Amino acid sequence: SQQGEEDPQALSIQEGENATMNCSYKTSINNLQWYRQNSGRGLVHLILIRSNEREKHSGRLRVTLDTSKKSSSLLITASRAADTASYFCATEPLRGANSKLTFGKGITLSVRP
C-alpha cells in the first residue's frame, strides 16, 4: 500500500496564485521529499525535509512537516504556467534499509495563463 497519500488529486489555479498540496503518511519517517514530473518525463527532486525539521524553503517552494499529524504540505507561491506538472511526495522510512522511498499517487497541478 502507498505510504504517502497526496491531497487533492488535482488542482487548477490561475497564474500568479499560490498552490498548496498536502501529503499524509502512515509510519515514522527519516525524511519526506517532493518531486515534480512534467508530462512524458522522469521525476525531478524538488526539496527534502528531515523529520527533525518543521519548515524549509527553496525559491518559490515552501515545505512544512508535522510529524505528530504525519503530514506535509508543499506551497508554490506566485505560480507560473511552467509549474503545470504532477507532484509526488515520497517518504524514507525511519527504520528502513537501503534508501528506499515510497511514493504517493501524485497531484496534477494545472496553472492557467
Chain contacts with another protein (rule: CB under 8 A)? 2, 31, 33, 40-45, 48, 88, 90, 92, 98-106
Give 98: exposed, middle or buried? Use CB within 10 Å, 0-12, 13-18, 19+.
Answer: exposed
Our CA angle for 89, 93, 98, nearest 5°, is 105
Nearer to another protein, 31 or 67 (CB): 31
At 14 the three-state DSSP class reads: strand
Beta carbon nearer to another protein, 87 or 111: 87
Closer by beta carbon to another protein, 65 or else 90: 90
Which residue bears the cell 504556467? 81
Place of cell 506566485: 78
By C-beta, is 25 or 88 nearer to another protein? Answer: 88
Q: What is the nearest approach in angstroms of another protein to the Cβ of residue 113?
A: 26
CB of 17 to another protein, least distance (A): 25
Least distance from C-beta 16 to another protein, angstroms? 29
Please state, in angstroms and rounded to a whole number, the distance separating the CA atoms of residues 53 and 26. 18
